[in-house]
Chains A and B, each alone.
Chain A
């Protein structure tokens, strides 16, 4: 598997790709109830473009952060993205979307997800006061203590 990079913002040339990944993901139907809960609590996700860089905001809070999952060595390709907020001592991932091409096989999808979560836990461990990562994207919450 290619090298994975997590970026907090990416160039505007990825906008359409990111919109399709986030808003028209084929897996979205399976997490519809969870999306409704997050929209009610944190507001609607919107894509913003500032100074040639895109990011996702949630209309109900001002502290949402986006991490774009990029793959490759020289030319980076958008493989997925996640949106999280800080809740007391937790980093809570509210949305996580992977491009279908990277999850075409069970093993490939699991490997990408496991590596992204491993990187996320390392990032979270460097944030002062964060003691756990909570994944609130599937039907059940998963908590990883750091």
Chain B
């Protein structure tokens, strides 16, 4: 999980122009002003580019906060390298 955080922080910085260190495992959409429905699509795209994976619609909808993003991205990357 810790290994993934820098990439996820980078994705947030690219999507929302925020400081990477401002994103923590506790961050939710309420903490980032631009993380609305359109922002969520931008973030998903940013995560896909940085992690080299593709998320389906259900996975994108499960990404309700950073903790869930870490979990889903971890599963995805594990499946990719298996």
- Residue on B with the closest CB to A142? B45
CB–CB A142/B41 < 8 A: yes
Count A/B pairs, Cβ under 8 Å.
48
- Give the residue of A109, A111, A114, A140 whose beta carbon is less than 8 angstroms from that of B36: A109
A interface residues, how many (CB within 8 angstroms): 22
A135 contacts partner chain B, Cβ-Cβ < 8 Å: yes
A61 contacts B by Cβ under 8 Å? no
Is there an interface contact between B61 and A114, defined as CB atoms closer than 8 Å? yes
B76 at the interface (CB under 8 A from A): no
Q: Which residues of A contact B41 (CB under 8 A)?
A: 110, 113-114, 117, 135, 138, 142
B51 interface residue per 8 A CB criterion: no
- A89: interface (CB < 8 Å): no
Q: A107-B64, A114-B60, A115-B57 are in contact. Are A138 and B29 (CB under 8 A)?
A: no
6 nearest interchain CB pairs? A109-B37, A142-B45, A113-B37, A110-B37, A110-B40, A138-B38
B positions within 8 Å CB-CB of A:
14-15, 17, 29, 34, 36-42, 45, 57, 60-61, 64
Chain A residues with CB under 8 Å of chain B are 96, 98, 103, 106-107, 109-115, 117-118, 135, 137-140, 142-144
Q: Give which listed residue, B14, B39, B60, B61, contacts A138 with CB less than 8 A.
A: B39
CA distance A144 to B42 in the complex (A): 11
> Secondary structure at chain A's binding surface: helix, strand, loop or mixed?
helix
C-alpha gap A113/B60 in the complex (Å): 11
A89 to B48, alpha carbons, bound, how many Å? 21
- Is the pair B15, A140 in contact by a Cβ cutoff of 8 Å? yes
CB neighbours (8 Å) of A117 from chain B are: 41
Given contacts A140-B15, A142-B45, contact A113 B40 (CB under 8 A): yes
Pairwise interchain contact A114-B29, C-beta atoms closer than 8 A: no
